[in-house]
């Protein structure tokens, strides 16, 4: 591996040569040191993923402008507002991908995270290279983000270091949080990871005016996350007072999965199972009610909850507030859709929802 100071006049030219060969380059950003691979080169992406060692985590790309970003993602009005007000800067904006880059950089839902670094050297590197590069942090799975060459060498094994061809040394960086990650593909922007930039965003919500509308919305929202089922189970945590509509929401989940059986509350049986098969997905829809569980340890001892967490399965949990500690335990491993339903009157329900995914944790 070659180490070159970023003040070297030949540093960017050398980095472009290395990237052009499909090799890996570590470079400084305004947050920590990142690792760059040519996002258009499948061999380079394979090398990057071998280095990172965890395909549960998402990989963003760095571009030098909004104009370059538009070549690779759809920039809607929400995303455009973030580009204008926060970029360049420590923010990753998630948009729908145009599928021009290696698909392994996309989320299971076909979205792509984009950064415009607020660091002159990083911007110049991408500008001169002329193509997007990966912008994930240069740490390997589970290790500390590096803020210096010493940091990186201390926490990176020799085998992993051997996968990197060039380290662009900008000295010791100021230790700042990682980038804030904002998903702009929903009805309103949603923060998936809070970083240095704190956004005053509330969870998206809407009102339904009948059980039929609640079922339809639940079906629509569930379909949005079906692509995750290729590699994850999906936990849908339902909270709301008695009669608020948790079971109606569960009926909507079943509708999205093509389940024809009647979905009823599992209050007395604790767990109902509904196998499903769709053209692209297959698994089991588990409908759990924690109301009668005296101790949340019973989720495992009685319902064997961990055994349900297989790719393809959806687990809807009513009275999820009782299982808060369990959800906290799994939030860095599995995607969780949190649903809160409030009864405004006999027919009207306010449904607030938020989503967390290990892809950006």
pTM (whole model) above 0.75:
no
pLDDT for 144: 87
DSSP for 255-311 reads HHTT--SPP---TTTSEEEEEEE-SS-EEEEEEEE-TT-SSTTHHHHTT-GGGG--T
Q: Tell me the two tokens of residue 136.
A: 């994930």
Q: What is the pLDDT of residues 36-68, one digit of tens each?
A: 999 999 999 999 999 998 656 789 999 999 999
pLDDT for 20: 97
CATH architecture entry for 2-193 = Alpha-Beta Complex (3.90)
The residues spanned by each domain of the chain are 2-193, 205-360
Distance CA 271, CA 58 (A): 33
pLDDT for 251: 96
HSE-up of residue 357 (Cα within 13 Å, Cβ side) = 24
Residue 277 to residues 33, 244, 256, 258, 295, Cα–Cα distance (Å): 44, 29, 11, 8, 33
pLDDT for 202: 58
Distance CA 247, CA 309 (A): 21
Query: Per-residue confidence of the chain (361 residues) as pLDDT tens digits?
Result: 999 999 999 999 999 999 999 999 999 999 999 999 999 999 999 999 999 986 567 899 999 999 999 999 999 999 999 999 999 999 999 999 999 999 999 987 789 999 999 999 999 999 999 999 999 999 987 788 999 999 999 999 999 999 999 999 999 999 888 888 999 987 777 777 777 665 655 567 889 999 999 999 999 999 988 888 988 999 999 999 988 999 999 999 999 999 999 998 887 788 999 999 998 889 999 999 888 787 778 888 888 999 999 999 999 999 988 888 888 888 878 999 999 999 999 899 999 988 887 766 5
Look at the domain 205-360 and name its fold. Answer: Rossmann fold (3.40.50)
In the numeric block, the tokens 């970029």 are attached to: 87
DSSP for 317-330 reads EETGGGGHHHHHHH
Q: What is the pLDDT of residues 87-133, one digit of tens each?
A: 999 999 999 999 999 999 998 778 999 999 999 999 999 999 999 99
pLDDT for 360: 66
Q: What is the pLDDT of residues 196-217, one digit of tens each?
A: 665 655 567 889 999 999 999 9
302 Cβ contact partners less than 8 Å away, ≥ 6 residues apart? 270, 293
pLDDT for 302: 84
Distance CA 55, CA 59 (A): 9
336 Cβ contact partners less than 8 Å away, ≥ 6 residues apart? 234, 235, 236, 237, 327, 330, 355, 356, 357
E strand or H helix at 135:
none
Of 293, 285, 142, 138, which Cα lies nearest the Cα of 219?
285
Burial class of residue 118 (count of CB atoms within 10 Å of its CB; 0-12, 13-18, 19+) = middle
Per DSSP, helices labelled H in 139-257 are 149-155, 158-161, 211-224, 246-256
Residue 239: CB atoms within 10 A of its CB come to 20
Distance CA 83, CA 92 (A): 10
Distance CA 247, CA 223 (A): 18
pLDDT for 56: 61
């Amino acid at each position: 591996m070659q180490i070159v100071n970023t003040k070297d006049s030949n540093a960017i030219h050398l980095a472009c040569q290395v990237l052009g060969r499909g090799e890996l380059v570590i470079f400084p950003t305004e947050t920590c040191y990142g690792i760059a691979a040519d996002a258009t080169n499948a061999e380079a992406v394979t090398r990057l993923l071998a280095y990172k060692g965890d395909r549960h985590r998402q990989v963003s790309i760095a571009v030098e402008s909004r104009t370059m970003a538009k070549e690779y993602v759809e920039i809607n009005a929400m995303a455009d507002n973030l580009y204008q007000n926060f970029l360049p800067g420590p923010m990753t904006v998630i948009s729908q991908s145009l599928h021009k880059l290696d698909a392994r950089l996309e989320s299971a839902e076909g979205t792509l995270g984009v950064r415009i670094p607020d660091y002159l050297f990083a911007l110049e590197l991408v500008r001169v290279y002329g193509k997007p590069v990966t912008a994930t942090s240069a740490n390997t799975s589970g290790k500390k983000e590096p803020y210096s060459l010493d940091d990186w060498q201390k926490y990176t094994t020799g085998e992993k270091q051997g996968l990197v061809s060039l380290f662009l040394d900008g000295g010791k960086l100021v230790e700042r949080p990682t980038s804030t990650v904002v998903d702009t593909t929903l009805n309103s922007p949603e923060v998936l990871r809070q970083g240095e930039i704190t956004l005053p965003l509330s969870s998206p919500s809407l009102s339904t005016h009948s059980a039929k509308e609640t079922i339809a919305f639940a079906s629509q929202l569930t379909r949005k996350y079906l692509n995750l089922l290729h590699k994850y189970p999906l936990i849908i945590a339902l909270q709301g007072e008695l009669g608020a509509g948790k079971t109606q929401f569960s009926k909507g989940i079943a509708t999205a999965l093509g389940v024809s059986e009647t979905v009823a509350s599992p209050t007395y049986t604790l767990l109902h199972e509904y196998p499903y098969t769709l053209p692209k997905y297959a698994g089991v829809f588990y409908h759990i009610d924690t109301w009668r569980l005296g101790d949340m340890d019973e989720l495992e001892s009685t319902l064997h909850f961990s055994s349900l967490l297989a790719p393809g399965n959806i687990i809807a949990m009513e009275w999820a507030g009782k299982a808060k500690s369990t959800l906290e335990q799994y939030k860095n491993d599995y995607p969780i859709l949190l649903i809160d339903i409030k009864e405004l009157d006999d027919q009207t329900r306010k449904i607030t929802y938020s989503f967390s995914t290990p892809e950006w944790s």
